[in-house]
Structure 1
Amino acid sequence: MGDGWIQAMRDERYGDAWAIERRIRAARDPATRDDPALPYHRRWVWDGTPVGDRDVLVRCYHGLGDTLQFARFLAPLAARARSVTLEAPARLHALLRTPGVTLAAFDPAHPLPPSGCDVEITELAGALRLAPRDAPAPYLHAAPAPLPADTIGLCWQAGDWDAERWVPPTSLAPLAARHRCLSLVGASTDLRVLNPEGCPFDLPATAALVAGCALVITVDTMIAHLAGALGRPTWLLLKHEPDWRWNPARRDSAWYAHTRLYRQATPGDWSVPLAAIAADLEGEDHGQPAQPVGARLLG
């Protein structure tokens, strides 16, 4: 969308961001809408058609994290539209069940035919003209797994497409040695965690683990959005120049009220945010003795 849109979103000037989106839509060639020659994540879908009292097809063409982030707008959409069909990866369906929304599995080889009004899920904020605060977390729900008290969930790797979001697991070894931790990564680890075999490759099961954690410490990946959408206290490790949805000048998040941001001071160096997390866990940031995680307000 460009730097102007990114800054407007970070500053929570959503009206300005939506105006930029309108100008971009007006300049597009309608023949390129949902262009099958492009990868799904590069397609545009919504042509500006109002969603009120229409049969709306919501397509999930981006990553799992994007889908979870914007799922907050499904219930408001269902309240306005005549009908809503959500075309989403089947592995997300158990988490995305919403009254008034029909779920359909997204098959990249055979997507659903166009509806009366097609919208990509990340376009819902502009289509509804709703800010994150208009649909606050928690908006997803999962029964918590029976974990020991004060368990901290750890996720240190993101998708292969952005290795700059990965934290070397050895950097988390001191934290895992001092606190009761759980891996939220789908691979085995040598870290001292409750589940060295890793997290199951099953999103409902992962959601239950996240819901059972007293705190989630994660890099910018799907786990961050899952924890945020569930309303769990989340400490988010960010690279020096983070994604558009995180304001590098702030410690809090407009998208998730219980999320706290820990950004790299210099590109590639995780030592500063990890030291800040260690200090916050021990209560050194406010000069008080260390307390159990569950005994303090987090987020």
Structure 2
Amino acid sequence: MADRMRMWVAAMRGGRYADAWALAGETLAERDPALRDDPSLPYHLRWVWDGRPLEGRHVLVRCYHGLGDTIQFARFLPLLAARAASVTLEIQPRLMELIAPLATGIALKPFDQAHPLPPAEVDVEITELDFALRAAPADAPPPYLGSRRAVLPAGTVALCYGAGDWDRSRCVPPALLAPLCRHAPVVTLMPEPTELAVLNPEGCPFDIGATAMLVAGADLVVTVDTMIAHLAGAMGKPTWLMLKDEPDWRWAPDQTGSAWYPSIRLYPQPGAGDWAAVVERIERDLAARTLCVAKG
């Protein structure tokens, strides 16, 4: 199983999606149907789709993973709606307003972990949609999400340095990022006060709509691997993504960009924990970018 997972990651990173789906099919064939959507497991460890066709069926899409995962795979919802008889999306309440314009003809229901919706004719977890639909990122390219723009100074950089407590190795110490504030106006996307020289030292509201407005109004987003990266990428915003040396499957550290989000540029650590080198590269590139804009 571990070898298959490594092969799957390599196939996904290499854009060999048919190979990745074939490997996923092997895993699906080995699963015990009695363990589908197993209530004894945490939601993020469950598998939902049992392989039955989605075409012409009443489909329930469940969002059991993080906000970023939902944003990444929401791109496939219109493709699903075009094939299924009906689609219901059981989505994290914080994302309902953001996703609603994309989900035309889809019933949106807030996901209550204590009281999930009963099964439909076909259930599928949103991160299974590429496999279930045999759809690659290029079949549903960004931008597919949008927002009104916050009014910000020209050249503003939106900055996010925290990825939550569940994986602290993705977080950048904020003091390291102070030099970036010398090259452009900066707004923080963190929902906390900061001592960085930003336009909003009180922090960003803990609200997806307000965050999306700041992303839309900025010229560039600099972020760690968290929901903000997916939000900015889904909006087609130029984004510089700071990555740990062994990043999540969707980012290939030996590449400079992402098939999922063409507007994203990758900045992986050259070695474990070396955020200083990442920030040095970003500062150098930001200084060059600011100079080009000034000459522009």
Taking structure 1 as the reference length, the TM-score comes to 0.95
Give distance in 2, aligned partners of 1:269 and 1:247. 17
From 84, 90, 98, the counterpart of 1:95: 98
1:114 is aligned to 2:123: no
Runs (4+) off by over 2 Å: 291-295
Q: Percent identity, aligned pairs only? A: 59
Q: Which runs of 5+ in 1 are unaligned?
A: none
Q: What pairs with 1:44-193 in structure 2 (closer than 5 Å)? A: 44-97=47-100, 98-193=103-198
1:290 is aligned to 2:291: yes
From 28, 32, 42, the counterpart of 1:29: 32
Tell me, yes or no, if the aligned pair for 2:180 and 2:286 is still in contact at 8 Å: no
Give distance in 2, aligned partners of 1:162 and 1:265. 19
Deviation at 1:293, TM superposition (A): 7.7
Give distance in 2, aligned partners of 1:293 and 1:240. 33
Give distance in 1, aligned partners of 2:5 and 2:164. 23
Q: What's the CA shift string for 1:245-284, capped at 9, x where partnerless?
A: 0011100101001000000000001122211111111228
Tell me, yes or no, if the aligned pair for 1:150 and 1:294 is still in contact at 8 Å: no
Deviation at 1:291, TM superposition (A): 2.5
Aligned length: 291
Instruction: Summarize the Cα distance change of 1:41–1:294 in structure 2 as closer, same or farther, 3 Å threshold.
Output: farther
| Partner residue, 1:213 | 218
Tell me, yes or no, if the aligned pair for 1:264 and 1:273 is still in contact at 8 Å: yes
> Residue 115 of structure 2 aligns to which amino acid in structure 1?
H
| SS at 1:291 equivalent | helix
1:238 is aligned to 2:243: yes
Deviation at 1:193, TM superposition (A): 0.3
Give distance in 1, aligned partners of 2:109 and 2:183. 44
Q: What's the CA shift string for 1:41-79, capped at 9, x where partnerless?
A: 000000011111110000000000000000100011111
CA RMSD of aligned residues (A): 1.4
Tell me, yes or no, if the aligned pair for 1:149 and 1:294 is still in contact at 8 Å: no
Q: What's the CA shift string for 1:217-257, capped at 9, x where partnerless?
A: 00000000000001100000000001000011100101001
| SS at 2:59 equivalent | strand
Instruction: Summarize the Cα distance change of 1:223–1:294 in structure 2 as closer, same or farther, 3 Å threshold.
Output: farther
Instruction: Summarize the Cα distance change of 1:60–1:77 in structure 2 as closer, same or farther, 3 Å threshold.
Output: same
Taking structure 2 as the reference length, the TM-score comes to 0.96
Give distance in 2, aligned partners of 1:218 and 1:5. 26
Deviation at 1:178, TM superposition (A): 2.9
Give distance in 2, aligned partners of 1:206 and 1:6. 30
| Partner residue, 2:270 | 265
Give distance in 2, aligned partners of 1:204 and 1:145. 11
Tell me, yes or no, if the aligned pair for 1:45 and 1:120 is still in contact at 8 Å: yes
| Partner residue, 1:197 | 202
Tell me, yes or no, if the aligned pair for 1:54 and 1:83 is still in contact at 8 Å: yes
Q: Which runs of 5+ in 2 are unaligned?
A: none
Q: What's the CA shift string for 1:26-49, capped at 9, x where partnerless?
A: 101000000000000000000011
| SS at 1:154 equivalent | strand
| Partner residue, 2:42 | 39
| SS at 1:254 equivalent | coil
| SS at 2:18 equivalent | helix
> Residue 292 of structure 1 aligns to which amino acid in structure 2?
V
Q: What's the CA shift string for 1:172-199, capped at 9, x where partnerless?
A: 0011133200000011100000100111
